[in-house]
Chain A
């Protein structure tokens, strides 16, 4: 009984904070508080400061990029547009290409080439609303085999469901079978493009991803009637690289089309005149609106290409669409194609 304790926990020893521990905790608290105060209240130009006095620092800033110039001088500078007539698609395309110096003059071995057909709608090729798959097939093979391009990409931002448009227009299968690669317009694929001199799209969302490492760009447009701007040809085709709310552009359609002519400086502009949508454009829908135009144009000067196509394919006499004159003013080419074309029959 000698060991009996007065209190049951008499020999209990707790674990107590020392003075030193308390000072350490206070210092840590002070450090965290000071660091927080610095981040929150240090002037904005101090390193690491998170201060946002105006509320504008938190706004997203997108740095626009610029597109390089993809143009190549033609072999003979007096011939800016080659026009092939007579024969099948391949024959006509080769005739037109030869007229301006041949494909190998423009495409060097190892080039990465981007093709921009018009795949705007979920329509079959015979309706003339989209680029015909035959010319895509021919061109991809020519590029890969004859011109020994390293890679051929095909892209567009259609109005309807992209996968469907590529499948049903026949362009997707044609390009892939010929060895090309399709790029679909996923939202991450767009970036802000800066186009100096453009009125409406000085800064606008642009389908950039397919352009990575690309050194040559070829547009392949069908020749179509267009309700508002009279004709959808080589220049109007670049509309398909725009993102954002592009349906506002119809409020000033000629301005936007002429802007497109300076937005991108393609290596070649091809207008496929084998099937011409004469009326009810740009959607078409009735095969009886489509005429055999018996021509393929390959141009270095997109304005002259479109001017010839407007007069000879859509067979519209008189004044050309306003946007061609505006494009000429913006320095994209010359409306007067006389003596600058070569028709090979």
Chain B
């Protein structure tokens, strides 16, 4: 037995270190995250908790509670991370967070600094207070009903970038590879892009270039400062830092063993000064310093912590808190200066996915994770630009019917929404069937005909694609039929379409299929959407409730 230990012991010491377990954990959570993004698709969804990492995110939980007063569906899972942080400190940042893992990986891969430079880079930097200020600003905005946390929350950023920036790139790559290999005689259906993306051959996302640029900007910043985003910007890290100030376990330095060699800074991820008084709120518990200490003077422990060798709280003076608070109080109303929410200036093109709650409620909930965009089978859901919803609604989901339409029997976006901005609805509720017959179908908006561009109305050319594709029964697009002699003397029958707003559900298939492609002659606007009382169009619907 002792001989066995003699053989295995050194191997175990070498391989079974805490840092290796940490790397395994990072690989596990990163893979899980990518799998969850991949599985967010019609045929793969099958009840898997694809948004689990968003629901584990305590910042999403706290900010939505501040905004709405309630905890939607599974957001209470955030407490798991809170408890873990109270126990072990910011382990989330270096053991779970996929964006953190990416930062660490890129920093490691491209690091060509000398050891002395690295030690200098990994000392605590006074600007690291910034993330706490960002957190204060965002939380105050949430409390005033403008949830902007998703702009900088790492999980949300990562999700959004993968769904809107990397997905189209993947589609293009697959299409190119598929096209090229098919030319070489490989069975083309093997690399059919429809097998790899939800519903459409090549997804497009308006403005996703900027989503990708911001995502990549923070990744590239690692070359300048290691873990730039995590140390200086991340509001989730800041929240966890505040909690970690009280954590049971932490890194403890045995001063009598320490020779002040500073080697613990060689790979310190959090820049938390383990060589001196540990900045507990900054420490990611990456365990690198324990590995690197030649004197075994560092330990991760709950007992025998030297209280002289720690600064538990964030380096945040009262002055900074007050300043950040003032900024936060100004920011929320400032975002609404353009009156895009419920005022006279609401945008005609702000058409929300089915199941969405009323607009101001929506903005209290939507974290802009864009999971709904990822799961949408037709690609109609787009990240909103400044045009549709003003600055406050940037990257929230909006329907662009020039790209596609909302598929009738689909409620996938409501299924994956982690915060209830799109409330989970059944197909029956969307269509106003069964128990929902009284309240009628979910209306996204109302279609209108532009008679100056419509082929039968304006140009004596037969068409009515819009009537053909209208999915409601009876059809919400009806026609005035007219036989006339056209300008070339030929008799034509013109079916001139008109909309029955009582029947129109605003699915937008008419706009998507209109042959006047660039500025469709039939188009949907937000007025008449059933989620809003302010945007009603008809006093009452003239259609009788359909019998069972």
What is A's interface to B at a CB cutoff of 8 Å?
Answer: 121-124, 159-164, 167-168, 183-189, 209, 226-228, 245, 247-248, 250-253, 280, 282-286, 289
The answer to whether A161 touches B473 (Cβ under 8 A) is no
The answer to whether A285 touches B468 (Cβ under 8 A) is no
Partner of B189, one of A159, A184, A283: A184
Q: Within the assembled complex, what's the spacing in Å between the Cα atoms of A137 and B470?
A: 29
A228 — which chain B residues lie within 8 A by C-beta?
462, 464, 467-468, 495
- Residues of B418-477 whose CB lies within 8 A of A: 455, 461-465, 467-475
The yes or no answer to B410 lying at the interface (CB within 8 A) is yes
Residue of B nearest to A287 (CB): B473
The answer to whether B407 touches A161 (Cβ under 8 A) is yes
Residue of B nearest to A127 (CB): B473
Partner of B188, one of A168, A188, A284: A188
* Beyond A186-B188, A280-B473, 8 extra complex contacts between A and B, CB < 8 Å: A123-B408, A163-B43, A163-B199, A184-B195, A185-B194, A250-B464, A250-B465, A283-B469
A123 — which chain B residues lie within 8 A by C-beta?
408-409
A250 — which chain B residues lie within 8 A by C-beta?
462-465, 468, 515
Q: Sort A-B residue pairs by CB-CB distance and give the 3 closest, nearest first.
A: A285-B473, A161-B199, A286-B473
The answer to whether B192 touches A186 (Cβ under 8 A) is yes
B472 — which chain A residues lie within 8 A by C-beta?
285
The yes or no answer to B178 lying at the interface (CB within 8 A) is yes
Q: Within the assembled complex, what's the spacing in Å between the Cα atoms of A122 and B188?
A: 25
The answer to whether A283 touches B470 (Cβ under 8 A) is yes
Residue of A nearest to B470 (CB): A283
The answer to whether B179 touches A162 (Cβ under 8 A) is no
The answer to whether B200 touches A188 (Cβ under 8 A) is no
A284 — which chain B residues lie within 8 A by C-beta?
473
B361 — which chain A residues lie within 8 A by C-beta?
none
Give the one of A245, A280, A282 with max B CB within 10 A.
Answer: A280
The yes or no answer to B517 lying at the interface (CB within 8 A) is yes
The yes or no answer to B377 lying at the interface (CB within 8 A) is yes
The answer to whether B202 touches A187 (Cβ under 8 A) is yes
The answer to whether A186 touches B462 (Cβ under 8 A) is no
Say yes or no: A248-B43 contact (C-beta < 8 A), given A164-B410, A186-B193, A280-B475: no
The yes or no answer to B385 lying at the interface (CB within 8 A) is no
The answer to whether B42 touches A183 (Cβ under 8 A) is no
The answer to whether A280 touches B474 (Cβ under 8 A) is yes
CB distance from B267 to the nearest CB of A (A): 45
- Residues of B356-378 whose CB lies within 8 A of A: 377-378
B461 — which chain A residues lie within 8 A by C-beta?
251
A185 — which chain B residues lie within 8 A by C-beta?
194, 201
Q: Within the assembled complex, what's the spacing in Å between the Cα atoms of A252 and B456?
A: 12
B182 — which chain A residues lie within 8 A by C-beta?
188, 209
The yes or no answer to B513 lying at the interface (CB within 8 A) is yes
The yes or no answer to B53 lying at the interface (CB within 8 A) is no
The answer to whether B468 touches A283 (Cβ under 8 A) is yes
The yes or no answer to B175 lying at the interface (CB within 8 A) is yes
The yes or no answer to B61 lying at the interface (CB within 8 A) is no
A282 — which chain B residues lie within 8 A by C-beta?
468
B474 — which chain A residues lie within 8 A by C-beta?
280, 286
Partner of B378, one of A161, A189, A226: A161
CB distance from B495 to the nearest CB of A (A): 7
CB distance from A244 to the nearest CB of B (A): 12
The answer to whether A186 touches B194 (Cβ under 8 A) is yes
29 contacts between A and B (CB under 8 A): A122-B408, A122-B409, A159-B509, A161-B377, A161-B378, A163-B198, A163-B199, A164-B42, A164-B407, A184-B189, A184-B192, A186-B192, A186-B193, A186-B194, A188-B188, A189-B192, A209-B182, A227-B495, A248-B515, A250-B465, A251-B455, A251-B461, A251-B462, A252-B462, A280-B474, A283-B469, A283-B471, A283-B473, A286-B473
Q: Within the assembled complex, what's the spacing in Å between the Cα atoms of A286 and B470?
A: 13
Partner of A164, one of B195, B199, B517: B199
The yes or no answer to B149 lying at the interface (CB within 8 A) is no
CB distance from B411 to the nearest CB of A (A): 12
CB distance from B133 to the nearest CB of A (A): 44
The yes or no answer to B293 lying at the interface (CB within 8 A) is no
Say yes or no: A285-B471 contact (C-beta < 8 A), given A209-B188, A245-B517: yes
The answer to whether A187 touches B408 (Cβ under 8 A) is no
Q: Within the assembled complex, what's the spacing in Å between the Cα atoms of A121 and B43?
A: 17
Give the one of B179, B200, B465, B479 with max A CB within 10 A.
Answer: B465
The answer to whether A247 touches B192 (Cβ under 8 A) is no
The answer to whether A159 touches B194 (Cβ under 8 A) is no
B365-406 vs A, Cβ < 8 Å mask (1 yes, 0 no): 000000000000110000000000000000000000000010
The yes or no answer to B514 lying at the interface (CB within 8 A) is yes
- Residues of B168-192 whose CB lies within 8 A of A: 175, 178-179, 182, 188-189, 192
Residue of B nearest to A210 (CB): B189
Partner of A122, one of B192, B410, B455: B410
Q: Within the assembled complex, what's the spacing in Å between the Cα atoms of A180 and B381?
A: 33
Residue of B nearest to A182 (CB): B189
CB distance from B434 to the nearest CB of A (A): 13
B188 — which chain A residues lie within 8 A by C-beta?
186, 188-189, 209
B471 — which chain A residues lie within 8 A by C-beta?
121, 283, 285
CB distance from A320 to the nearest CB of B (A): 16
Residue of A nearest to B409 (CB): A122
The answer to whether B514 touches A227 (Cβ under 8 A) is no
Say yes or no: A186-B201 contact (C-beta < 8 A), given A251-B461, A282-B468: yes
The answer to whether A209 touches B189 (Cβ under 8 A) is yes
Residue of A nearest to B467 (CB): A227
A247 — which chain B residues lie within 8 A by C-beta?
465, 513-515
Residue of A nearest to B455 (CB): A251
The answer to whether B473 touches A251 (Cβ under 8 A) is no
Say yes or no: A188-B194 contact (C-beta < 8 A), given A250-B462, A251-B462, A282-B468: no
Q: Within the assembled complex, what's the spacing in Å between the Cα atoms of A187 and B193?
A: 8
Q: Within the assembled complex, what's the spacing in Å between the Cα atoms of A162 and B192?
A: 12
Residue of A nearest to B376 (CB): A161
Q: Within the assembled complex, what's the spacing in Å between the Cα atoms of A163 and B200?
A: 9
B377 — which chain A residues lie within 8 A by C-beta?
160-161, 163-164
The answer to whether A163 touches B42 (Cβ under 8 A) is yes
Q: Within the assembled complex, what's the spacing in Å between the Cα atoms of A186 and B192?
A: 6
Residue of B nearest to A284 (CB): B473
B408 — which chain A residues lie within 8 A by C-beta?
122-123
Q: Within the assembled complex, what's the spacing in Å between the Cα atoms of A168 and B479?
A: 30
Q: Within the assembled complex, what's the spacing in Å between the Cα atoms of A215 and B461?
A: 40
A245 — which chain B residues lie within 8 A by C-beta?
515, 517
Q: Within the assembled complex, what's the spacing in Å between the Cα atoms of A316 and B428?
A: 34
B501-534 vs A, Cβ < 8 Å mask (1 yes, 0 no): 0000000010001110100000000000000000
B469-489 vs A, Cβ < 8 Å mask (1 yes, 0 no): 111111100010000000000
